[in-house]
Structure 1
């Protein structure tokens, strides 16, 4: 028997709630992150994944970019946040990314995963995943 997960993920795409799922997978950025001296001196690779619950509009999508959350704009926001300055913790980086995404009032929730890829030789990645909800109406 398979054990149940401790935390059930928030269902992102949901027709009854009028939500669509927009995502970015495996965004790789060389970032200045970490508390140790060598991490302040040398940037390192991080991988970022995002899941966004986006409020759908009143009517059907008319095949126009202005009717949807543009994943290129989200990507650019994430890059701006990550490349802005050194942060000590991936937790801080994840929180700042979440805040940047939630600045768009159509985004109801965001799940952010930040992974440092080159910390240990015997581990593919270490990191954090958070989920935050919009406080906007």
Structure 2
């Protein structure tokens, strides 16, 4: 049986997650060099990207200036920079590279990257990852 204190802690944690402002880009469709199979090499495929990032609570635009806050443009730039690396075999690797670039901005608390390969079967297939600050190479010192 779960006690009241445990339930209250879970509710507080969930409420805290909702306090973050989020920036996002959804359904960005680009031609990519992606895939591990021979038939995927040397050709492009249509791939969909949806990226969401939570902004630290103390980050705000005090003077109505874009430089004061992370922008959805930063998310799009991270996708394009990853694609500029050339052919990537795995969508998981592509998602990690995008997440790493976004988490380079210390104002980002966590990032969610979803990649859909739109031409690889009946419907979309892909991967979605969520990476918090403090995981992997973005550990808090």
- Regarding TM over 0.5, the answer is yes
2 CA distance for matches of 1:102 and 1:77?
10
Given that 1:29 and 1:79 are in contact with CA atoms closer than 8 Å, whether structure 2 keeps it comes out as no
2 CA distance for matches of 1:33 and 1:12?
37
Task: Provide the TM-score with structure 1 as the length reference.
Answer: 0.80
Name the structure 1 match of 2:18.
Answer: 14
2 CA distance for matches of 1:86 and 1:11?
41
- Runs of 4+ with >4 A deviation: 10-13
Task: Provide the TM-score with structure 2 as the length reference.
Answer: 0.78
Q: Deviations over 1:95-125 (max 9, x none)?
A: 11110110000001001100100011xx221
Higher Rg: 2
What RMSD, in angstroms, separates the aligned Cα atoms of the two structures? Answer: 2.1
Name the structure 1 match of 2:118.
Answer: 117
Residue 56 of structure 1: CA displacement?
3.2
Question: Paired residues, what number?
Answer: 123
Which moves more between the two structures, 58-67 or 74-83?
A: 58-67
Q: SS at 1:76's partner residue?
A: helix
Given that 1:108 and 1:134 are in contact with CA atoms closer than 8 Å, whether structure 2 keeps it comes out as yes
Name the structure 2 match of 1:82.
Answer: 83
Q: SS at 2:84's partner residue?
A: helix
Given that 2:61 and 2:68 are in contact with CA atoms closer than 8 Å, whether structure 1 keeps it comes out as no
Structure 1 residues 1-137: aligned runs within 5 Å: 14-15=18-19, 19-57=20-58, 61-120=62-121, 123-135=122-134, 136-137=139-140
Given that 1:115 and 1:127 are in contact with CA atoms closer than 8 Å, whether structure 2 keeps it comes out as yes
